[in-house]
Every structure is written in structure tokens, then in C-alpha cells.
Amino acid sequence: MTTEHQDPSICCPEFDPAPWQDKLVTWENKKFIRDNVFTLFYMPIGFGKVMKRLDEKVRNAEATMPDFLCLSDHTSQWNMDVYLAVDKEIPGAENTMISGKFFSKVYEGPYRNTGKWMKDFDAVVKTDGITCKKVYMWYTTCPKCAKKYGKNYVAILAEVE
């Protein structure tokens, strides 16, 4: 897991799925900043604009984004809350912390497969006897960088009991 990438010409760092594939991670007061994105039937509108706004706040605070972890919580067909991991409190941002145990599984392919991934994820946790309390999506790269790398990884993280 990395803290930040060094090449400023790269929009999104290349994602390594290994540390997140079928893993249980525990967070205690993990720092995030929160924002939201308007969605139209769950499709984000202006996601890049929100990410640029968050990135600017992090850079102005001379902070880093551990693992470039950005969790998306689809709260309705009209809204998605975004949680960007940070290493310290960010002035002018909605700072929050997340604690708990999380099961993560990584998928690869076009976003249109999200429904299939969710069905698979549900089957995996059911088979493993895991009870999910809340599910987040982690879109690890933007579509442009996914095309550049030749892989579009999406991680599903579920808070578990």
C-alpha cells in the first residue's frame, strides 16, 4: 500500500489489487474528508469536479492521501457520498473518521458490471458467513487512467460485524 504517487503527470496511480483482494482490514479512527456527488439514477455527475476540489484541499494542507483510498457510498439514486482518506485534519473540509472491520474484494472490468460484482460479493460474504453492515465502492482510477493502464479495478469494501 502506498501513500502517494510521485509523477505529477499521472492523474491516478496504478492500483495494486493484491493488498485488497479478499482481505479483512481493521480501521480505528481512520481519517477521511467527506463530500458528495449528484447522481442521476446512481450515475455520478461531476465526480471529477468533486475530486479536484478535494485534491486541492489536501494539497493546500500539505497532506497526503494514503493508498489514494476514496470510498463511495451511494446513499440514493440522486446522491453519492465520497470519503477520501487523508493523513491529517484538512482545514475547510468536512473531516470525519471511520472505524470498524471491513472485508474487501477487488473486481476488474467495465463499470456496467457493478451489478454482477455486487451479486458475487453478496454470495462470497454469505458463503463465508459474514454479515455486512454498510457497503462502499472504491473506483480506484478514473476512466482515462483505467484505459491507460489497461485495467479498471473496482474494490468493494463492506463494514462487517
pTM for this model (two decimals): 0.90
Q: How many CB atoms lie within 10 A of CB 32?
A: 21
CB of 128 closer than 8 Å to CB of 161: no
Query: Is residue 105 domain-resident?
Result: yes
CA-based nearest residue to 33, from 105, 106, 111, 88: 88
Same domain, yes or no, for 35 and 88?
yes
Question: Which of 84, 99, 114 is the last residue before a domain boundary?
Answer: 99
Same domain, yes or no, for 132 and 86?
no
pLDDT tens string, the chain, 161 residues long: the values are: 444 445 555 688 999 999 999 999 999 999 999 999 999 988 899 999 999 999 999 999 999 999 999 999 999 999 999 999 999 999 999 999 999 999 999 999 998 999 999 999 999 999 999 999 999 999 999 888 999 999 999 999 999 98
Query: Is residue 35 domain-resident?
Result: yes
Same domain, yes or no, for 91 and 35?
yes
74: containing domain: 31-99
Cell of residue 117, nine digits = 460484482
Cell of residue 146, nine digits = 483505467
The total of structural domains in the chain comes to: 2
Question: Which of 99, 115, 147 is the last residue before a domain boundary?
Answer: 99
